[in-house]
Amino acid sequence: MQGKLITQKAGSVACAPEREPAAGAVDLWARVALPAAAPEPPAEPVAAPGLRLALSLLEEGALTSRAKRSGGSYVGRAVPSAGAVYPYEFAVLVVEDGVPTAFRIDADRRTCARIAVGDRVTAALEASLLTVPADGGALVLTLTRPWLSMRKYGDRGYLYTQLDAGHAAGNLALAAAGRGAAGVLRLRFPRESLSELLEAGENCREIHSALLVPAGPAGSTGPVGSTGGSDEAPNRWTVHDDTDRESRGPTWRSWLESTCWDSLAGWPEQAGSPTVRTVPAPLAEVRAERQLPDGSAGLGEVSGWPELIGTRLSSKAFTGEPVPATAVWRAVSALSTPLETDLPVASPLSATLVLRSTTDPDRDAVYRLDTGERRPGRLPSTDEVARACMQQRALAGAAAVLLLHVPRTSLAGPGSAGDAENLRELAFRCGALGQLLYLGANRAQVGVTGIGGFDTPLWRTLAGLPEDDEILYALLLGSPDDSGIKFDRLAMAHAQNER
Ligand SMILES: Cc1cc2nc3c(=O)[nH]c(=O)nc-3n(C[C@H](O)[C@H](O)[C@H](O)COP(=O)(O)O)c2cc1C
């Protein structure tokens, strides 16, 4: 449609160069022309201890990776994202020179815009039932920007946005724990006043979650002995003052993003009541220990987590070689790692493991992980896995598949129970569990990739899931082949049937 418009108008301008351009051509040109760049405000160093802490945590938990990747120029991050799109950003609230201050973070440019100070910040925090942890702690907010994923994946990009943000928020909490200063992750708080303070809604951003990061062991803004999140990281960042809204340049806006945003308006947002009560608990019930020798389950000592985080990556393909069943179970056992959140301990989310190609064929089977039950029945062939993963043939040699699913009735909507979880909360669980599986797989030395391109009805049949269950997320494990390209990063959404 747009291509047609350009061809027609360009043609008419080219035929009559000496005449006044038609009004349509002027309009078109106004549409494609760029406005002037806003002036760059003066840069300041990052001084506030809370901001330094938050930035080094963001570097370690979300923005950088030390994983050795073969081929290409792709520089990864600490977390995976559908299509490597990363459809979210961050804001940080700290006390700066004794004054509560809010910063918007530009992770690509490594800049922090100070956008509000003083009473406005205090009032927004109070209305949100949140606080900035004392003595140099920080409140790190994750804000989703659905358009970034939806412009590639359409409506399904909204689910990927939530899963991606779940990976990031969960990993930030794990990175904080790895530093010996476990954070608390909040999802159930009133968002309106903070959204207004951060100008989120008007700029098509949604507040996803808030991580309260305590200052931690004295002088530590990074894991001991690691290069990933050392105190040097914040030195690459600068701060500028953007508190005077009038003096800022015009905000970037696109009708495409607004259209995308407006299309989300009717989606049910109902969530459980706000609460300040938090408990450390696993995000899903998973019984994997009994499959493992004593003491080998989980992610190991927290001091080893920064290394697991810094070196994780997604497999591009699987060779089809079987992997030891114990390695898969070790990876899966990481799902039981507790995270401190304000979500209910019990959740409608279930995990099912299809263990189909291991070096211990006796253990190959479908397992319902909440009960540990081993289901009878045959296992999917390589062709069936390819079809159930939307013909992502390179991934069909996966040795195991983890499916995260919920009863359709539990997807909160009008009429659902008061403490039901909304899509954001359920997808948060899935994303954070996915991140734990990535770290568990890294520890167990088995390849892993999350996949958003999967055929729910077919997996339901292949894994014997209840008829009314919906799969929110799937992850594949196996023997990795990292020599080729990652199809999922191409502009075309192959695994979502785009042709
Ligand atoms: C929600 C989600 C969905 C994904 N879907 C697919 C997929 O369908 N196929 C695939 O090959 N990779 C998929 N990925 C993996 C991404 O392609 C990968 O994270 C991204 O390319 C960045 O690479 P890295 O994880 O190695 O840093 C997905 C990741 C996430 C978090």
Q: Render pLDDT for 234-253 as a digit per residue (tens, 0 to 9).
A: 779 999 999 998 888 778 88
User: Is residue 219 a part of any domain in this protein?
Assistant: yes
452 lines ligand 1 (CB under 6 A): yes
257 Cα distance to chain centroid: 20
- Confidence band for 351, pLDDT divided at 50, 70 and 90: very high
Consecutive H or E run containing 472: strand 469-478
For residue 118, what is the domain's CATH number? 3.40.109.10
**Same domain (yes/no): 223, 292:** no
Clarify whether residues 314 and 212 are in a common domain.
no
Same domain, 240 and 329: no
Beta strands in 131-241 (DSSP E): 138-144, 184-186, 206-213, 238-241
The pLDDT mean for the chain works out to: 90
Question: 213 with 356, same domain?
Answer: no
Measured CA to CA, the distance from residue 137 to residue 132 in angstroms comes to 7
pLDDT at 14: 39
Assess whether pLDDT exceeds 90 at residue 19.
Answer: no
Q: Which letter does DSSP use for residue 358 in this model?
A: B
**Cα 443 to averaged position of ligand 1 atoms, centre (Å):** 19
Same domain, 137 and 95: yes
Task: Using most ligand atoms within 8 A of CB, pick from 429, 451, 485, 498 the residue to mutate for ligand 1.
Answer: 451
Residue 310: CB atoms within 10 Å: 22
Q: Is 54 within the bounds of a domain? A: yes
Q: Mark whether 375 and 440 lie in a shared domain.
A: yes
Mean pLDDT of 270-293: 90
Residue 223 confidence class, pLDDT cut points 50, 70, 90:
very low
Answer yes or no: is pLDDT of 343 > 60. yes
b (16+ CB within 10 A) / e for 338-352? ebbbbbbeebbbbbb
Look at ligand 1, atom 25, and give the residue with the nearest C-alpha. 80
Once rounded to an integer, what is the mean pLDDT over residues 38-42?
86
Residue 36 included in any domain:
no
pLDDT score, position 15: 40
Residue 92 lies in a domain: yes
Mean pLDDT of 13-36: 73
Q: Whose CA is nearest to atom 7 of ligand 1?
A: 451
Strands 238-241 and 317-318: unpaired
Is residue 213 located within the same domain as residue 311? no
313: Cβ below 6 Å to ligand 1?
yes
pLDDT the model gives residue 228: 40
8 pLDDT more than 70 = no
48 has a pLDDT exceeding 70: yes
Tell me phi and psi for residue 401, to 5 degrees. -130, 130
Q: Which domain holds residue 410?
A: 279-496
Same domain flag for 106 and 229: yes
Categorise residue 83: left if φ over 0, alpha if ψ from -120 to 50, beta otherwise. Answer: left
Burial 11-37 (b: 16+ CB within 10 A, else e): eebeeeeeeeeeeebeebeeeeeeeee
Whole-model pTM: value is 0.93
Question: Does residue 335 register a pLDDT over 60?
Answer: yes
> Cα of 454 to ligand 1 centre, how many Å?
12
Residue 355 lies in a domain: yes
The pLDDT tens digits for 363-420 are 999 999 999 999 988 999 999 999 999 999 999 999 999 999 999 988 855 555 556 7
Which of the residue ranges 150-159, 217-226, 252-261 would you say has the lowest mean pLDDT?
A: 217-226
pLDDT tens across 416-439, in order?
Answer: 555 678 999 999 999 999 999 999
198 neighbors 243 (Cβ within 8 angstroms): no
> Do 290 and 410 fall within a single domain?
yes
Domain for residue 328, yes or no? yes
Per-residue pLDDT band for 346 (boundaries 50, 70, 90) equals very high
Query: Considering only CA atoms, which residue is closest to atom 19 of ligand 1?
Result: 80
How confident is the model at residue 22, as a pLDDT? Answer: 77
Q: Residue 246: what pLDDT?
A: 83
For 2, the enclosing helix (H) or strand (E) is helix 2-15
Provide the pLDDT for residue 226: 40
Residue nearest ligand 1's atom 13 by CA: 451
Query: Per the structure, how many domains does the chain have?
Result: 2
Both 229 and 332 in one domain: the answer is no
| 312, part of any domain | yes
Q: In whole angstroms, what is the distance from residue 257 CA to residue 263 CA?
A: 10
Residue whose C-alpha is closest to residue 158's, from 206, 191, 89, 210: 206
User: Which atom of ligand 1 lies at the shortest distance from residue 487's CA?
Assistant: 11
Residue for token pair 């008419």: 12
Looking up tokens 């497999």, which residue turns up?
Answer: 315
Report DSSP state, residue 222. S
